[in-house]
Chain A
């Protein structure tokens, strides 16, 4: 088990965003977290990635308790993440966006004199990652010139550049046209399988969730209400009711 979350809780005043949840993720699998708006999915991702500090509970990654660690330390342990609204460096080129992640993980960010393109290994690795995400042809474009779908892919590619063991992807297809969704998710899925990475994905599109997940966790009002393989979740009436807006 690569990730184990135990009795994790995060409250915002009276709101129980994540309410004492426990679950685990096996290596090499894709786990999707689903649930209605406000279920606590993104808060959970923020807690695991270090963006938020939990009120209680523990998060074990490869048996190391990462609870409360700052994001830069967590990412160096091998956890990459992407965001619902892409976080990318708009005024840098597509190639530079990926290279910064590579410099960071290789400990090269203090290099002040050598030209950033003179690190041949990192350059070819960055190009390989961009190729994996279908962005190689746009490597010299400034990111503000990229369409939304490519920005989403770049955000994810930057997480993959960290050579992660676990990626946390927050709505990888949000804001992407329905035609684009399949293309984006296919590229992401290929990257996950090729790199042997474990993925925890927050996603709203149930077609995508059922197509690509090995396991699904359903959240509602900060709690886990169901957990299982896609076929188990598909037939669950409680889940259906929650996801369609009814009460449990």
Chain B
């Protein structure tokens, strides 16, 4: 405790990120290939959920179609490798960022004109639109079979599972840090103000729809980056990436961890990825068991695991009585 107190507060975040980075970089030295794959998947989910939470947790907009942007990122990378023959991950990554940015800007612009259930339904409809496209454009997308994706190259090195893991880990730390900066910036506070009371936000000079749109785009780009990493990890892209059940996954992940806590979606992603993997190995009824597990977690921890733990600690140790003057 004494050492902790001697560290200035402004160093907490860089030190925490440094320690996290060290752990992630050294993880392949002690873990099996399968665990490396699983942690890659968990971190990709975490990037996706961090992005999703800009919109859901911080802006208060519930999207049921965020698989669309994951799918756009994955299909951009997958199709450019398989159909165009581009192997450089630097170019593929940039292309995925730009496509997800463009698509989310366009769809977001249309969706934020609506609120609540209409917004949610519109996002769902656009997600299903991409699902149908992936199915129907057989010559390009391979229809229901999807497309096999060969490993790309990063600066001339083959991106096998291990190198991909390092790329995922580095991007995760960078995007985690950026997300932290965003939510604590005036922009982040503005989004939170909109979530809390969009009417008031409008009356203090905030163009609410515009900021909801910005949040949608930011969220879409994070999702696209997750998709760009997902395609080489599975070496395969398929229409289910766009399906509404996939959109449901990112919502589950965010809720399990706690959408009101910054690290909630990250923890949710790690739990979900590992839980799903182990349940799948044990039973063919894994969707049922997984759904039940998520329901139990949601019932026990209504604010998500981190959210509920935070509320418990706050009430137990830091509760104070408010006295009116």
Which A residues form the contact surface with B (CB < 8 A)? 49, 51, 70-72, 75-76, 80-81, 83, 87-92, 96-97, 99-101, 103-105, 108-116, 119, 134, 141, 145-147, 149-150, 158-159, 161-162, 180, 183
In the assembly, what is the distance between CA of A115 and CA of B183, in Å?
Answer: 9
Are the C-beta atoms of B185 and A99 separated by less than 8 Å?
Answer: no
Interface residue from A90, A101, A134, A180 paired with B205 (Cβ < 8 Å): A101
Interface residue from A92, A112, A161, A180 paired with B181 (Cβ < 8 Å): A112
Residues of A within 8 A of B184 (CB): 115-116
Task: Show 26 residue pairs from A and B whose CB-CB distance is below 8 angstroms, ordered by the A residue.
Answer: A72-B203, A72-B208, A75-B205, A80-B204, A81-B203, A83-B200, A87-B197, A87-B200, A87-B203, A88-B197, A88-B200, A89-B192, A89-B197, A91-B260, A92-B193, A92-B196, A100-B189, A103-B190, A110-B187, A110-B214, A111-B187, A113-B182, A113-B185, A114-B186, A150-B325, A161-B204
Q: Is B211 on the interface with A (CB-CB < 8 A)?
A: yes
Interface residue from B187, B199, B203 paired with A112 (Cβ < 8 Å): B187
Question: Count the A-B residue pairs with Cβ separation under 8 angstroms: how many?
Answer: 116
Most buried by B among A70, A83, A104, A114: A104
Q: Is B90 on the interface with A (CB-CB < 8 A)?
A: no
Look across to chain B and name the residue whose beta carbon is closest to the beta carbon of A161: B204
Are the C-beta atoms of A109 and B324 separated by less than 8 Å?
Answer: no
Closest approach, in angstroms, between the C-beta of B46 and any C-beta of chain A? 20
Are the C-beta atoms of B186 and A72 separated by less than 8 Å?
Answer: no
Closest approach, in angstroms, between the C-beta of B268 and any C-beta of chain A? 20
Are the C-beta atoms of A146 and B322 separated by less than 8 Å?
Answer: yes
Are the C-beta atoms of A116 and B186 separated by less than 8 Å?
Answer: yes
Are the C-beta atoms of B197 and A104 separated by less than 8 Å?
Answer: no
In the assembly, what is the distance between CA of A72 and CA of B211, in Å?
Answer: 12
In the assembly, what is the distance between CA of A76 and CA of B205, in Å?
Answer: 5
Closest approach, in angstroms, between the C-beta of B33 and any C-beta of chain A? 37
In the assembly, what is the distance between CA of A134 and CA of B324, in Å?
Answer: 11
Residues of B within 8 A of A51 (CB): 203
Residues of A within 8 A of B193 (CB): 89, 92, 96-97, 100
Given contacts A91-B192, A92-B193, contact A109 B206 (CB under 8 A): yes
Closest approach, in angstroms, between the C-beta of A93 and any C-beta of chain B? 10
Closest approach, in angstroms, between the C-beta of A55 and any C-beta of chain B? 21
Look across to chain B and name the residue whose beta carbon is closest to the beta carbon of A107: B205
Most buried by A among B184, B189, B196, B324: B189
Closest approach, in angstroms, between the C-beta of B183 and any C-beta of chain A? 9
**In the complex, given contacts A87-B200, A134-B325, what are 16 additional A-B residue pairs having Cβ atoms less than 8 angstroms apart?**
A88-B196, A89-B200, A90-B196, A92-B189, A92-B192, A97-B193, A101-B204, A112-B181, A113-B185, A114-B186, A115-B181, A115-B184, A116-B186, A119-B186, A147-B322, A158-B204
